[in-house]
């Protein structure tokens, strides 16, 4: 039995399901989770569990998204989407305990394999997929669940955001075929693209103006932008306003890699982007205790990273 077949059998018979997204969920994690919730809630009680809040741009496109910050122990089945490593869920101990108690754990993901591969009872993975949402689409199709417009839109949101609006190298013929199918099924592409365009407040413009005026390019061809807490305060911005900055920076003509460093309570959060074909940012981020893809990755630089003792984010 293939992983998708076994997952579909498990999900069909589960009375209660928890869908867990990774810490600071992106459009692919949210899109996958919302699509699963909408598709499966006819027969099961489905909750989305997130250790962080959902960025407002996703609710403006998809409507209200209810998430719980705590992981219940009583669900029949647990599903982790768009995540390869346990620590990125924000629920490491709880999930390990659930597995000790023989709870079923399905992982659906398109990243390079991490420790969740070992922990999962069923692991649906395809590294060549541009988004986890593509894998969720295949799974729901396998389950013969009709893809209504309210399911097609979150799946399309996942594909759209993980390919940078179909800009990244990962956008293959298969990706465009999936997107085309989702639009045909009622996925609201225009609402999604407009949702990201409209998000330009004065506070965000003030912040970006300040940050961009201070960027520097080092000898390795890395363009670096630093976002200090004081910058956010001065521009009356929030961390949500940083979204998209690294993609813009990656367009810098003279640079191969863009790095946005964001000051946090635990150290500097690094956001890496590149459009250079030969560069593998995922590998670089993993060296720094982070994770990601070839063209988009991230890490948390604590003092331990600089002293050679890496601490995971
Ligand atoms: Mn993804």
Per-residue pLDDT tens over the stretch 39-58 = 999 999 999 999 999 998 99
Query: In this predicted model, what pLDDT tens digit does every residue of 78-95 receive, in sequence order?
Result: 999 999 999 999 999 999
- Give start-end residues of each CATH 3.10.310.30 domain in the chain: 202-306
What pLDDT, on the 0 to 100 scale, is given for residue 196?
A: 82
At residue 255, the pLDDT reads 95
Q: Cα of 293 to ligand 1 centre, how many Å?
A: 9
Determine the distance separating the centroid of ligand 1 and the alpha carbon of 96, expressed in angstroms: 23
The CA 201 to ligand 1 mean position distance, Å, reads: 26
Query: What is the rounded average pLDDT for all residues in the chain?
Result: 93
Nearest one of 296, 196, 206, 212 to 249, comparing CA atoms: 212
Phi first, then psi: give them for residue 35, nearest 5 degrees.
Answer: -60, -45
User: In the chain, where does the domain assigned CATH 3.90.1640.10 lie?
Assistant: 3-196
pLDDT reading at 24 higher than 70: yes
Domain 202-306, CATH class in plain words: alpha beta
The percent of residues above 90 in pLDDT, for the chain, comes to: 83
Round to whole Å and give the CA distance between 207 and 203: 6
186 contacts: CB under 8 Å, gap ≥ 6: 148, 149, 152, 153
Q: How far is the CA of 172 from the centre of ligand 1 (A)?
A: 15
pLDDT-derived band at 304 (thresholds 50, 70, 90) equals low
**What spacing in Å lies between the alpha carbon of 235 and ligand 1's midpoint?**
30
Identify the pLDDT of residue 249.
Answer: 96
Give me the sheet containing 16-20, strands edge to edge: 67-68, 45-49, 16-20, 77-81, 104-109, 122-125
Ligand 1 centroid distance, CA of 82 (Å): 5
pLDDT tens profile 140-198: 999 999 999 999 999 999 999 999 899 888 899 999 999 999 999 999 999 999 988 76
Across the range 10-30, mean pLDDT stands at: 96
* Mean pLDDT, residues 283-297: 88
Round to whole Å and give the CA distance between 255 and 222.
Answer: 6
Span 5-12, average pLDDT? 96
Q: Does the structure show a pLDDT above 60 at 125?
A: yes
Predicted pLDDT of residue 295: 86
Burial class (CB in 10 A: 0-12, 13-18, 19+), 2: exposed
The yes-or-no verdict on residue 311 having pLDDT over 60 is: no
Q: In angstroms, what is the span from residue 236 Cα to ligand 1's centroid? A: 30
> Is residue 308 very low, low, confident or very high in pLDDT (cuts 50, 70, 90)?
low
pLDDT tens, residue by residue, 239-258: 989 988 999 999 999 999 99
Instruction: Say how many Å lie between the CA of residue 224 and the centre of ligand 1.
Output: 24
β-strands 222-227, 216-217 pairing? antiparallel
Q: Calculate how far, in angstroms, residue 184's C-alpha sits from the geometric centre of ligand 1.
A: 22
If you measure from the C-alpha of residue 282 to the centroid of ligand 1, how many angstroms do you get, rounded to a whole number? Answer: 13
Residue 145: per-residue pLDDT: 97
Of 81, 61, 78, which Cα lies nearest the Cα of 139? 81
Looking at residue 312, its pLDDT comes to 46
Cβ contact 30:58 at 8 Å: yes
- The residue-averaged pLDDT of 106-112 equals 94
Candidates 3.60.110.10, 3.30.420.10, 1.10.10.10, 3.90.1640.10; CATH matching 3-196: 3.90.1640.10
């Amino acid at each position: 039995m293939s992983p998708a077949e076994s997952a579909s059998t498990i999900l069909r018979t589960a009375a209660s399901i928890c869908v867990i997204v990774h810490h600071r969920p992106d459009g692919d994690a949210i899109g996958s989770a919302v699509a699963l919730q909408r598709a499966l809630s006819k027969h099961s009680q489905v909750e989305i569990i997130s250790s962080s809040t959902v960025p407002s741009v996703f609710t403006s496109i998809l409507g209200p998204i209810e998430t719980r910050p705590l992981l219940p122990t009583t669900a029949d089945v647990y599903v982790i989407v768009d995540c390869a490593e346990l620590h990125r869920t924000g629920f490491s101990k709880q999930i390990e305990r659930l597995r000790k108690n023989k709870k079923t754990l399905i992982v659906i993901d398109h990243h390079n394999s991490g420790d969740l591969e070992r922990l999962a009872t069923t692991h649906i993975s395809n590294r060549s997929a541009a988004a986890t949402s593509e894998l969720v689409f295949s799974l729901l199709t396998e389950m013969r669940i009709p893809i209504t417009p309210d399911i097609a839109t979150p799946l399309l949101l996942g594909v759209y955001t993980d390919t940078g609006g179909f800009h990244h190298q990962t956008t293959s013929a298969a990706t465009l075929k999936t997107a085309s199918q989702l639009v045909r099924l009622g996925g609201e592409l225009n609402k999604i693209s407009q949702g990201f365009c409209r998000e330009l407040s004065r506070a965000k413009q003030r912040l970006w103006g300040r940050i961009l005026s201070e960027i520097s390019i080092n000898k390795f061809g890395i363009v670096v932008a630093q976002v200090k807490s004081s910058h956010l305060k001065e521009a009356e911005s929030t961390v949500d306003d940083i979204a998209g900055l690294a993609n813009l920076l990656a367009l810098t003509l003279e640079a191969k890699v863009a790095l946005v460093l964001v000051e946090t309570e635990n150290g500097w959060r690094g956001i890496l982007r590149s459009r250079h074909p030969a560069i593998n940012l995922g590998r670089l981020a993993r060296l720094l205790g982070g994770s990601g893809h070839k063209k988009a990755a991230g890490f948390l630089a604590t003092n331990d990273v600089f002293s050679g003792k890496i601490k995971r984010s």
